[in-house]
Structure 1
Amino acid sequence: MQDWVRARSEELPGVTVDQPFGPEVDVFRVRGLMFMALSPSTATGVTLKSAPADAEALRATFPAIIPGYHMNKKHWITLLADGSLEQGLVEELVTEAYRLVVAKLPRAQRPVDPEIFGRV
């Protein structure tokens, strides 16, 4: 799963990666705002920004999606790297986390239009 999220994030415009919490956690940002944290060495491998209603529904539907590890439980979810989540869902959740953060940026700083980017 970690390979899927890393590959998807590399496709997103304006994404940077840093390690403010140490070398164990890669933090993915767009224009300085965090939308994902990746901890490849742990079972709680990916933490993503999520709309509160979506986060609640995802946690109720998928046992491998739990409240955000070390994050605000209302606005963040953690995907457990247990092999039960499909690649398409994981990639969609990364894209949605990115869109949520981009939507909060001033229009002039947005690398994409969050209303249409990544929608099929």
Structure 2
Amino acid sequence: MSGLASGDVLAYCLGKPGAWQDEPWEGDVVAKVGEKIFAFLGGDSVGLKCGNNREEADELVDTYPEDVTKMAYIGRSGWNTIRLGGAVPDDEILELIDSSYETIVAKLPKSRRP
């Protein structure tokens, strides 16, 4: 059983260098670095970039089929939704946040990286 709550996940995301909170759509909180989203935060889940493509992201879905799903619309680009409080351990969720953040930072122009 996971102990991470959505507030913990948001605080962890916002602790990253250059990270900031935005609400691009009413009621949808995201964490961004520069102008790019690295985490979608909502309710009891977090949406993260979990691979460079769908195949890489599907490894996590295959490992935790009850708690990880392909995100609508952007899932084909390697984004997954991870349910908090499920089978995915807290430390792994934090590692996935780190990885999503690092992937997005690497795509920013050098002048915009924190």
TM range (shorter): 0.7 to 0.9
C-alpha displacement at 1:9, in angstroms? Answer: 0.6
The answer to whether the aligner puts 1:3 opposite 2:4 as a matched pair is no
| Contact 1:50–1:100 (Cα < 8 Å) also in 2 | no
| Contact 1:59–1:65 (Cα < 8 Å) also in 2 | yes
Instruction: Report the structure, 1 or 2, having the larger helix content.
Output: 2
What is the CA deviation profile of residues 47-86 of structure 1, one whole-angstrom value per residue up to 9, with x for unaligned ones?
A: 1122124311111111211101x33222210012343221
Q: What TM-score does the superposition give when structure 2 sets the normalisation length?
A: 0.83
Q: One-letter code of the match for 2:74? A: N
Partner Cα distance (1:100, 1:93) in 2? 10
Instruction: Report 1:86-101 matches (<5 A).
Output: 86-101=89-104
Instruction: Report the structure, 1 or 2, having the larger strand content.
Output: 2
Partner Cα distance (1:7, 1:54) in 2? 27
SS in 2 for 1:20: strand
Paired position in structure 2 for 1:14: 18
Paired position in structure 2 for 1:58: 60
Instruction: Report 1:80-119 matches (<5 A).
Output: 80-111=83-114
What is the CA deviation profile of residues 4-46 of structure 1, one whole-angstrom value per residue up to 9, with x for unaligned ones?
A: 32132122000111111112x2111100101111112xx5x21
| Contact 1:4–1:91 (Cα < 8 Å) also in 2 | no
Partner Cα distance (2:7, 2:56) in 1? 23
Aligned residues: 106
Q: What TM-score does the superposition give when structure 1 sets the normalisation length?
A: 0.79
Partner Cα distance (2:14, 2:75) in 1? 26
| Contact 1:4–1:87 (Cα < 8 Å) also in 2 | no
Partner Cα distance (2:70, 2:8) in 1? 20
Q: One-letter code of the match for 1:54? A: E
Identical residues among aligned pairs (%): 28
